[in-house]
Amino acid sequence: MNAHPLPGAVVASLVLSFAACKHDAEASEHQEHEAAHTIVSTSPLVQDVEITHKYVCQIHSRRHIELRALERGYLEQVLVQEGQQVKEGDLMFKLLPAVYQARLHADQAELESAEIQLRNTEELFKQNVESDQAVALARAEMEKAKANVEMAKAELSFTEIRAPFAGIIDRQFQQQGSLTEEGDVLTTMSDNSVMWVYFNVPEADYLDFMATPGAVSPENPQDLKLPNTKIELQLANGKVFGHAAADTVTVESTFDHETGNILFRADFPNPERLLRHGQTGTLLLHPTLPDAIIIPQRSTYEILDKLYVFTVGEDGVAHQRHVTVAHEMDDVFVLASGLDAKEKIVLDGVRQIHDGDHIECEFRSPEKVLGNLKHRAE
């Protein structure tokens, strides 16, 4: 069976439609090709930048002491519990005082006897019966007896162990009824109102901190002031502690020759008593760099471990420029040298050009660019 040929008008229409589709496809491909080669430039942004230094740290109470028995005896009363908050002067432990009370009574009796002996000797001296040496000897005996009474009173007071400051009771090492020896540890106690946070600083960072103008005071050379620096504490769960430290830290006197570090201490207020002695965390130093020069990381490329950008001159010619980085942050570099704030640099298309190429580029403001950063150019 023979197929009927298509009319000429239909064939012509199909040819025109095919040609139009091909033209549209080629135009679309050309536009995509042009878009893929669009070169975008921008300028460095100059602004104050807050950077972050992180140091592993240990958290200590401002005062953490051991409470020990000053006398031998039976532990008659335990008046506190582990974890209890106490005030300065609160009675915490009491030893059986009977032996020390008896000793005090005996010494008081000896003192009364010595006072009577002194009065009798003084009367006899007035009657020229006793010499002045005898009076002096009787007075010395009385002073000795008085000293014994004071000692007995002190020993009796040692049977009561009171809180030397307001703080938290830690673990108890002796229980009621225990026979304690002189020097036995009863418990430990912590003053957590202010926490001392210790962190090791490498020598290079130490030298940078010390070079800051006004950092060291001649009156207090152990203190290091870090102006325009926020000091925070990141806890083990990743959250930042709710109170910042002052901008002055204390510096230890010597370096650790094995690690090359020196110990710093920052003081944190702890009004809610969240921090406890022995915790660990990460100390965060946030110094602010004034008028820092910032560029996007994707505008850079590396050659033999050196970092470069393409600058664009007034004549539209691209030039390769070596830059040095002071600090690396998310998607941006803070430069130490290499660029002026007013220069233009290639942002997108750094792989499409070479040194000395004449280029045409679209300029975008640094504020807009830095507000929409994603990744560094590959």
pLDDT reported for residue 65? 92
Residue 58 in contact with residue 142, Cβ under 8 Å? Answer: no
Q: With residue 110 as reference, give the H or E element that holds it.
A: helix 98-126
Q: Which CATH number fits domain 53-62+199-290: 3.30.530.20, 3.30.365.10, 1.10.620.20, 2.40.30.170?
A: 2.40.30.170
Tokens of 352: 């499409």
pLDDT reported for residue 37? 57
The CA distances from residue 59 to 34, 63, 79, 246, in Å, are 59, 12, 29, 16
Residue 296 in contact with residue 369, Cβ under 8 Å? Answer: yes
pTM above 0.75, yes or no: no
Residue 294 in contact with residue 50, Cβ under 8 Å? Answer: no
Per-residue pLDDT of the chain (378 residues; tens, 9 = 90+): 444 454 554 444 444 444 444 445 444 444 444 444 578 999 999 999 888 999 999 999 999 999 998 888 888 889 999 889 999 999 999 888 777 788 888 888 988 988 888 888 888 888 888 888 988 998 999 899 899 989 888 888 778 889 999 999 998 898 888 888 888 999 999 999 999 999 999 999 999 888 887 787 777 778 899 888 999 999 999 999 999 999 899 999 899 989 999 999 999 999 999 999 999 999 999 988 889 999 999 999 999 989 999 999 989 999 999 999 988 888 899 999 999 988 999 999 888 899 999 998 889 999 888 887 654 433
Domain boundaries, the chain: 40-49+291-370, 53-62+199-290, 97-158
The CA distances from residue 246 to 223, 241, 270, 285, in Å, are 12, 14, 13, 11
Residues with Cβ within 8 Å of 27's Cβ and at least 6 positions away in sequence, in order, are none
- Please provide the CATH number assigned to the domain covering 97-158: 1.10.287.470
Q: Which residues of 175-198 are buried (b: 16+ CB within 10 A; e: fewer)?
A: eeeeebeeeeebbbbbbbeebbbb
Letter for the amino acid at 320?
Q
pLDDT reported for residue 221? 75
Instruction: Classify domain 40-49+291-370 at the CATH topology level.
Output: 2.40.420
pLDDT reported for residue 220? 79
Same fold for the domain at 53-62+199-290 and the one at 97-158?
A: no
pLDDT reported for residue 373? 67
d(CA 317, CA 339): 16
d(CA 192, CA 61): 5
Tokens of 239: 């959250």
d(CA 137, CA 163): 42
